[in-house]
Every structure is written in C-alpha cells, then in structure tokens.
Structure 1
Amino acid sequence: MRTLLPLLALLATPALAKPDADTRAWLARTAELSSDAMEGRDAGSPGHARGIDLVETWFKAARLQPAGENGSFRQTVPLHEVRVTSADMRVVALDGSAASLKFLHDVTPRPATDLPATLSGAMRFAGYCSKAEAGPELSGKIAVCYGTRRSGRAAAAERLAAVTAAGAIALLTIDDGAFTIEPPRWPDAYARSVAHEGTALPTGLPQFRVNGAALSLLIAGSQRLAAAILTDAGLHRDLESFDIPGRFEARLTTAQRSFTSQQLIGLLPGTDPARASEFLLLGAHIDGYGFGEPVNGDGLYNGTLDDAGYVALLSQLATRRKGKGFARPLLFAAWTAEEKGLLGARWWLKQPTVPKAQIAGVINLDQLRPLFPLKALTLHGLGQNTLADTAKSVAEGLKIEIRPDREPERNLIRRVDSWPFMEAGIPAVNFIFAYNPRTEEERIYRDWYNRRYHRPQDDISTPMDLQAAQDFNLFYYTLVETAANAAARPVMKAGQ
C-alpha cells in the first residue's frame, strides 16, 4: 500500500485530472519498477535482478527481439567494489579530549584499495590548496582544503596534486556550501567505489569529504571561526593558511568483492533494408542506490525519477509499437551501474552486442523531472550533432523551447549514459526540464534536488505534473519516430 496510495493520489492530482491511458500506463510501470519490492535496484542486488526480470517481461510482451548476449535480452557486466564498511573518526585536542565525527554525516572517506586501517596526523588548513598555498608546511601533515567548485581557484585535480607534491599524508576537502546551484547534501548513502572487473579501483593519498558543518570541530582551538572561513570562501576571497592544534584520527574498515550485474538490450527491427545497419539506440538506466544511510528514518532509495520512470518510458514506447518497426532498427537498452560511473553503457561500448559503427545515434533518458509544466528543455548535444538538430525541430513543433545548458558548472552532460557515446564520436542527446531563474519552477526543482535527488524520498509520492509527463512522453515518441524514419543518418558536426 505504500506504493498504491501515492499512485492513486497522483492520478487525482489537479495537474492532470484525467491523464490519458498512455500516461496512466507509464505511471503504473514507474510505480511498479520503483516499488519497495525492487529495493532500490542497486547494481548486482536481488532487487536489481527483480527489476531486470520485470523489464524483460515488458520487452517480451512488446514483441522486441533479444539483442543481448548468447541470443538473450541480457548482457552481464563484471564489476569489482571496494567499500568502507565502518569508520571511527575524531579530532583529538592537545589536552587529550576528543570530538567524534560521524561517518557519512560529517566525514566520508573515499573508498580505495589501499586505504589505511588507521590514520593519525596533525592538520594544516591550506585555503583552496592551490600550488601556491600548498607549501612545505604540509609535509607530514593532513591537508585541510576548501573544495570550491567554481572557476578561478584550485579545482579537485590541482588540489590533490598540490598537497601530494607538498608531502601531505591525507586530504580533507571541505564541501563548497556556496555552490548554490547544486549544494552539497548529507548524509552520503554509503562509501563505495565500483569499477569494471580488471580495472583499477582508486588508490593513492587517503581522501575524505567533509561536511562544512563539521569544520568547527576540525579547527577547534585554532582561534579561527569556521563561519568566517566558510563566508570568505563563499565570497571567493583569499583564505589564510594555519596549523590546526588538534590531530585527526581514523580507524577504517574496508571490504572488497567481485560481482556481476545485468542489463537488457532489446531490438525492434527496421523496415528499410537499406538502413538495416543504422541502429537508433534508446537508453535509460535501471539501477539505483538500493539501501543506504537513512534519511528521515527511511533507508530505501527507490529511484522513481532516477531512473525507473524512464526505463518505464522505454518499455511504454515498445508496447505502443507492438512489434511494428520504423525505417531504422531500434535498440532498447536498460543500462546497469550508471550510478557507479556509467559502467553499464561503458561496458557495452567495450563489448557491443551489435557493431559499434552501426549505432547511428543515441537518445538517452535521464535527469528528467516532470515537476512543473513543460515549456523548455535543456538539450545535451546541442550544436554537436544533427540528431540534436532533429530534437530541436521536433520540440519547437510541439511549442517546447530548446536551450543549451545554462549551468555548465554542474557538469551534467558527463554524468549520464549518453556521455560515453559522445566521447566515442557517436551522435547522442539527453534532456533536462528547464526553468527560468527566480521562478516557481526553479524553486520546485531546487527543492526536489535538495530533498529527493539520490535520496529515499525519490519515490512514487513525489508530486508530479502529469500533464508535463504526458507532454514529454509525446515529445519523446515523436522524436524517436522522426529520427528513425529520417532520410539522412545522424552525424557529428565539424570540430566536435
């Protein structure tokens, strides 16, 4: 009933009093795939396996043909994980008193295969930890750095290189709380790093992500005010470096395992023999976070809009077609391990189930939030390829404005499964519901990001604008049909 009641409430929402049958079917599939029974679909988990089983039944019922491995719908992705299973961390003052730092709430260690079981050292705050700030005073100490996400100061790679060269024994990076377009959120769900089996997992200097709210504990006794440091950093001012009286101590337990996770590839054959080797790949990721650190007492991260709703939309499109193809063949991909680093899509590119050169274009569905009326879409790929031009034309025909990414600092284009295909030179697109600054739409989006994104609260109780969902689904169906039937194959543009 935790799933059914919110679904009934959504169907009665004033945003769309009478959703059409297609939108009702999409919403029902979304609810089923993100129900508690699927346990958040963490890659390789029993709940993920149940999700794969469910979507495979949808693909089969829609008369798709298997396009995975060994004549099946499935492709197995071998993975390896290192996980911090426990962490006892504290700051020890000169008088021997200690203040505890809560794992996943105040500090999260970066999982690494060579993360030490114990760590202890004096600390030095070195501002933004640029090469100029990370001097010899850091040698043998733990560097504490403000991790700004804005241009003009040391970025993550520069910070790490600078403190490593200076001889620091570990790096504590304070979250950039002033990065308001995507503010840091706590707690972390867990501390895990996952890679393809046989690919190196993180190693090197021990690193820790630190909640800005815990800075006062770190610098206790220094006669500096944490609030003043955070304010100055938020205003991009220079920061003074100083030694911290206390010591940072940590006892860390890690575990490693090898496992596999499956993804699904289905085929809707094309009708034009001349274009039989020009596949249009439609993707969305089936995996989520699964179980993690509880937020407001809930530890199950259902992943309704990230991304169960858009695996549901893939299947809904296939169901609408009932085996009837377009000119070009369509591949339907429910990727795994997106949340662990786009690993399912990257694995398919390494082990393609159809020749990679035959992928004409990729339409990816992720980062979509039907929370307010659909007036505009941010289009990743705009200006890069002719598939994006097709998407722009289709959208404008439906009175939807297409925009470039107006928040490039968030690096959203590289955080979805279309990115590996873009890197490989394959035309690809992805979309985000757009909003204007200082509007109710922006407030709704920011609220969703702060309270639901990668949180247990991303579940079917999310207040959706079902008219916006219906409008996007129509745009998607029209784009797929237009691109699949277009005379010219999509191509990358010069210089891209």
Structure 2
Amino acid sequence: MKLALLLSTLVLAALPVHAGSATPSRLKEISDPDTRAWWQATEALSSDAMEGRDTGSPGYDRAARLVAKRFEAAGLQPAGDHGTWFQTFRLNDLRVTVPGTRIAVGDKPLRLLYDLAIWPSSGMPTQLDAAVVFGGYCAPGTLGDVRGKIVLCYGWRRAGLTTGAERTHAVEAAGAAGILTIADPGFTVEPMRWPVAYARSMTLLDAPASPEDRLLVATLNADVLAAVIAGSGRDAAQLLALGSAGKPLPRFEVPGHFQARLNLQKKVVTSANVLGVLPGTDPVLRAQTLVLSAHLDGYGHGEPVAGDNLYNGTLDDAAYVALLEHLATLRHGNGYRRPVLFAALTGEEKGLFGSRWFVAHPPLPKEQIVADINLDQIRPIFPLTRLTVHALDDSTLGDAVRAVATRHDIRVQLDPEPERNLLRRADHWPFVQAGIPATGFVFGYAPGSDAEKRYRHWYEVQYHRPQDDLTQPMDWTAAGAFNRFFYDLVGTVADAEAAPQWKPGSALAPHP
C-alpha cells in the first residue's frame, strides 16, 4: 500500500498543470498523505482549465482524456468501445439564450434565468401570445378549458398531492400550450435558487418524442407571482401560503397574456464515459464484475453568481472521479477476486445519460454486473459520524455497507428526506432500474446539529453554483475517513464469496 501511494504521488506530480489554473493549491492544509494525493487529483479535474467539464464540451473532453491517462497509468485495462477507454454517444443539446429572448406577462417583463427557468424541448413553441390560467395543483380533471393557454401550477414537491410529472401530463392532456410551475417556497429542505445556470436540456439523439415535448415547460420564481397575476384580484402572498401548506387553491383566469419570443438553439454533441477494468484474480468469480461509478461532467459556464460564471463542480463530482482514479492507483494492477470496472460517467447533470447509456449498452454482458457502488452527493464538510445510504435495506449490498461502517465507527441510516428523491437523482438509479443492486451515500447529520447547518448552507451556497470550487470549506479528516470507508467497502464486496443479491420483498427488486 505504501508503494502504491508513492506511485500515485509520482504519477500526479508528473502530470502537467494547465497554465489557466490560478487557484492556489491547498495541499499544505492536508497532513494525511493519502488524502493529499486524492485532493491533488481533485485539483487537476476541477481546476479552471477544465472549464467545469460540461457534457459535450472541450473542457469535458480534456478531463476525460486525463482520467483515461490515469486509469492507464494505474494498470487498468480499457473497457470502452473498440478497445478504447471511451464509451461514446451523441446527444441533442437544446438551449434558450438570453440574447434574442423576450418574455412578459401583461406589461411585466420576465427575466430569463432570474424570474423564469425554461426547460427546452425540440417541439416547444418559440413564439407565444396566450391567455394564462392559475390551475392550483393542476391535478388531472381539475383544469377546465385551458386549450391553447399557459397554465400556472403550484409546484408541490412533497407527498400527498400532484407530482411534477402528473402536473405536466395533466396540462398536456388538457390541450394547453405550456406550464409555468411556481417554485414552492415551502419546500425548505432544498429550495430552488435563482438565478439558474442556463435554460438548457439534453436528450439522447434517437430518443422518441413524447407528447409533453410540444409544451413550453418552465419554472416561475415565486417572488414574481404577484406581478404575473396582477389585476386578478388574488393575493399572491396568500396563494403561496396556501400552497406551501398544501391547502386547497382556487382556479382563476389571469388578465395578462403570456407573450414570448424564445431564441432556441439546437445542436448535436458527442460525449463519452471513461471505462477501465481491474481484472479479477479468482477464476470462479471472474464473471462477476463490480462497477464503481462517479460522474465526470459538471455545469461548465453559466449565469454568474457573485461575479463568477464558471461552475467547477469540485465536490459534485470531480472529487469522486478523483477517488476512483486514486483507488485504481493504490491497487496498481493488484486485483480483487472479482473484476472491478471503474466508470467515470458523463451527462449526469443533464439526466443521468452516461449511466443510462452504460446500462443500455454494457461493455460486458449485463448479467455479469453484480453491483454498482456510486460516488455522488458526498459532502465532506463536517465530521463523518453517520451516512445516509441509498437502498440500504433492499439488497445484501446494504449489509456489506453496515458491516464496513461499523468497523469505521460510522452510523448508517435510511434517507431522512425521501421527498428530495435523491435515490433517483444519481447514477446508481439506472443500475437499480436494470435490476442490478446499487447504492450511494450522503454525509448524514443529527437534526439541529452544527453539521446540519453546514449541510443546509452547502445546498444554499455551493450546490450547482460556481462556489462549488477548490476554495470551499472542507473537513479533511472527514474526507479521509470516507475514503478509507470506501476502500474497505470495495474490498469487502469485491472479495466476498457471494455476490450482492436483492432481498425478498424489496420494492426496488426486479419483478417477473
């Protein structure tokens, strides 16, 4: 292990530093050599030179080539297309730009990215002059005649009322031209922040169109609701209070028309997962591959926040691609009993596209993939005493997590905030959908603790913001403790006699 750590440090030191990276290194803050080597890899992947690693961008491609070089230096074997390190696919890239776009309701202009976030689709209208209806929670059968209109829907995000998908389907089925979802100020565990980075979406190149693609789909900043419904005789503050409490909301017509001219730009981009495999040593277990995944992509350049327009994505998720690189280097060709496939995935931030593509086009027979351990949503910004573990009780993979966590004096727990839907928002989810046991982790905290304050602050200030960069507050001891937990977990699962299995009765397990 000491030799592998030395090799890791030498490999990292030998790699060139891009001249555009001006952020001072923080390596002197870190006393633990292993944590220091991991952070050095993190600095390379999330420096300004990588331009935020946006899917399909030159910055992403530079980062992918660097990951491939490190996988090769660590002794992995390429597992991408045609014997390469890369599994490549194409995406439609749709963007509504601020230049050339004008939006208003009545005489109230709406600022794209600040008052309104648009989620573009290829079939959406780009010119609109439509009446507006407030539809409450927009439950099916409650909208009345909204044909050709824009429907304002309250964006409830908890259990018990409509979901976003249900609202959109109801509005489309009723023949409306679009849906404006009011960002729910009552959803305080993860409120929407403004401005958004950009008005952009991606789809797989050959993905079939859905009926909802013809709609204008947007989110409205609750702060401008009063201006949008002006003249209706309704009180915006009262409506927001009722909506935040889940109480009945009225349906009413809004006097002002929604008028828009949208500059929709379309292009096709290519991006790639970076895949390398550490072969297994046990001839009996060589047909049972464990996947380790983390997403390499970030947001790239976007709307400035506090004067910074580069969304570096250091903890989301460059640091944990760096951890995959570092673990591979520590092993340096010294395999586990099972093969371990290291996957740096693209397109997570645009819709889990890299993991979806991997599962739909696996580089080995899908039945040989026994589990996925995904690294995302990890925030080492306070002491590590507990972990929220996705799908903890659904497979024997969760049992392995419990056993390893106990050895490391870490408490494990189910997600205390299931309404945030974190299980389905990271790259382990397509594996689960494909019937493969999978898990991921979130740093946990005791309610009301200082750790919770730091966790909430991170989501307010850093999450999907330029401030998720190399200068943000870190707890180096906690970071190192998680990394050691991860090394132990990988070894435990990869060397176990039995492969992970779904537990009887799991709601996530595949059903005939």
TM over 0.5: yes
What per-residue deviation string (whole Å, max 9, x for no partner) do you get for residues 242-292 of structure 1?
221111110012122122102211111111111111111111111111111
1:177 aligned onto 2:189? no
Query: 1:128 and 1:402 mapped to 2: Cα distance?
Result: 36
Match of 2:197 in 1: 189
Alignment correspondent of 2:290:
280
The corresponding residue for 2:446 is 436
Tell me, yes or no, if the aligned pair for 1:281 and 1:332 is still in contact at 8 Å. yes
Q: Which amino acid aligns with 1:84?
A: V
2:299 maps to amino acid: Y
SS in 1 for 2:25: helix
1:461 aligns with 2:479: no
Q: SS at 2:440's partner residue?
A: strand
Distance 1:491 1:31 in 2: 37
**Structure 2 unaligned regions, length at least 5:** 1-18
Task: Give 1:7's aligned residue.
Answer: 25
Structure 1 position 135 matched with structure 2 position 135: no
Q: Do the aligned partners of 2:437 and 2:502 also contact (CA within 8 Å) in 1? A: yes
The one-letter amino acid paired with 2:131 is A
Matching residue's letter, 1:142: I
Are the aligned partners of 2:196 and 2:303 in contact in 1 as well (CA < 8 Å)? yes
Aligned-partner SS, 2:132: strand
Label 1:278 to 1:165 Cα distance change in 2 as closer, same or farther (>3 A): closer
Kindly state the Cα deviation for residue 152 of structure 1 after the two structures are TM-superposed. Answer: 2.2
**In structure 2, how many angstroms separate the alpha carbons of the residues matched to 1:236 and 1:396?**
40
Q: In the TM superposition, what are the counterparts of 1:246-285 in structure 2 within 5 Å?
A: 246-285=256-295
1:201 Cα offset (Å):
5.2
Give the AA of the match of 1:81: D
Give 1:27's aligned residue.
39
- 1:364 paired to 2:374: yes
Separation of aligned partners in 2, 1:139 and 1:252: 21
Per the TM alignment, residue 153 of structure 1 is displaced from its structure 2 partner at its CA by 2.0
Change (3 A) 1:195 1:170: closer
Match of 2:406 in 1: 396
For 1:275, what is the secondary structure of its paired residue? coil
Equivalent residue of 1:163, what SS?
helix
Stretch deviating more after TM superposition (255-264 or 404-413): 255-264
Which range moves more in the overlay, 418-427 or 217-226?
217-226
AA in 2 matched with 1:88: R
Q: Distance in 1 between matches of 2:209 and 2:486?
A: 37
* Corresponding position of 2:334: 324
Residue equivalent to 2:3: none
Residue type of the alignment partner of 2:130: G
Deviation at 1:85, TM superposition (A): 2.5
Cα deviation, residue 11, structure 1: 4.1
How big is each residue's C-alpha offset from its partner over 1:340-390, in whole Å with a ceiling of 9 and x where there is no partner? Answer: 111111111222111111111111100000010000001112111111110
- Name the structure 1 match of 2:346: 336
Do residues 159 (structure 1) and 167 (structure 2) align? yes
What is the CA–CA distance in structure 1 between the aligned matches of 2:24 and 2:230, rounded to whole Å? Answer: 46
Q: 1:91 aligns with which of 85, 102, 105?
A: 105
Partner of 1:240: 250
Amino acid at match of 1:79: L
How far apart are the structure 1 equivalents of 2:469 and 2:286?
39
Q: Matched residues in 2 for 1:192 and 1:387: separation?
A: 36
Match of 1:62 in 2: 74
> SS of the counterpart of 1:462?
coil
Equivalent position amino acid for 2:347 in 1: A
Shift of 1:164: 3.3
Shift of 1:42: 0.6
Cα distance in 2 for partners of 1:142, 1:322 equals: 58
Query: 2:209 & 2:196 partners in 1: Cα distance?
Result: 20
Identity of aligned residues (%): 50
1:5 to partner: Cα distance: 5.1
Determine if contact 2:23/2:47 at 8 Å carries over to the other structure: no
| Structure 1 position 67, deviation (Å) | 1.3
Select which of 106, 109, 115 maps to 2:115.
Answer: 106
Deviation at 1:169, TM superposition (A): 2.6
Q: Distance in 1 between matches of 2:150 and 2:223?
A: 19
In 2, Cα distance between equivalents of 1:21 and 1:71: 34
Q: 1:116 aligns with which of 125, 146, 149?
A: 125
Counterpart contact for 1:82–1:201, Cα < 8 Å: no
| Runs of 5+ consecutive residues of structure 1 not aligned to the other structure | 13-17, 93-97
Deviations 1:324-344 (A, max 9, x none): 111111111101111111111
> Could you tell me how far apart the structure 2 residues matched to 1:418 and 1:354 are?
18
Report deviation, 1:6. Answer: 5.1
Cα 1:276–1:365 shift into 2, 3 Å:
same
Distance apart, 1:149 and its partner CA = 0.7
Question: How far apart are 1:4 and its partner, in Å?
Answer: 6.3
Cα distance in 1 for partners of 2:73, 2:147 equals 63
SS at match of 1:128: coil
**Residue in structure 2 matching 1:82, options 84, 90, 94:** 94
Q: Using structure 2 for the length normalisation, give the TM-score.
A: 0.91
Amino acid at match of 1:297: G
Contact 2:157 2:163 in 1 (8 A): yes
Q: Is the 8 A contact 1:142 1:169 kept in 2?
A: yes
2 CA distance for matches of 1:165 and 1:328?
50
Distance across 1 between alignment mates of 2:20 and 2:84: 34
SS of aligned partner of 1:461: coil
Contact 2:22 2:48 in 1 (8 A): no
Taking the aligned partners of 1:339 and 1:294, their CA distance within structure 2 comes to: 18
Alpha-carbon displacement from aligned partner over 1:51-71 (angstroms, at most 9, x marks no partner): 011111211111111111111
Matched, 1:225 2:235: yes
The offset of 1:99, in angstroms, is 1.8
Following superposition, the deviation at residue 163 of structure 1 comes to: 2.9
* Cα distance in 2, alignment partners of residues 90 and 465 from structure 1: 45
Counterpart contact for 1:117–1:253, Cα < 8 Å: yes
* Map of 2:6 onto structure 1: none
State the alpha-carbon separation in 2 of the partners of residues 383 and 265 from structure 1: 29
**Matched position secondary structure for 1:425:** coil
Deviations 1:78-133 (A, max 9, x none): 222222234310122xxxxx221001110122201112221012212121122353
Q: Determine if contact 2:125/2:214 at 8 Å carries over to the other structure.
A: no
Residue identity matched to 1:379: V
- For the residue of structure 2 that corresponds to 1:189, the secondary structure is coil
The aligned residue for residue 4 of structure 2 is none
CA distance in 1, matches of 2:97, 2:334: 49
Pairing 1:150–2:164 present: no
How far apart are the structure 2 equivalents of 1:36 and 1:455? 14
Distance 2:112 2:71 in 1: 41
Partner of 1:312: 322
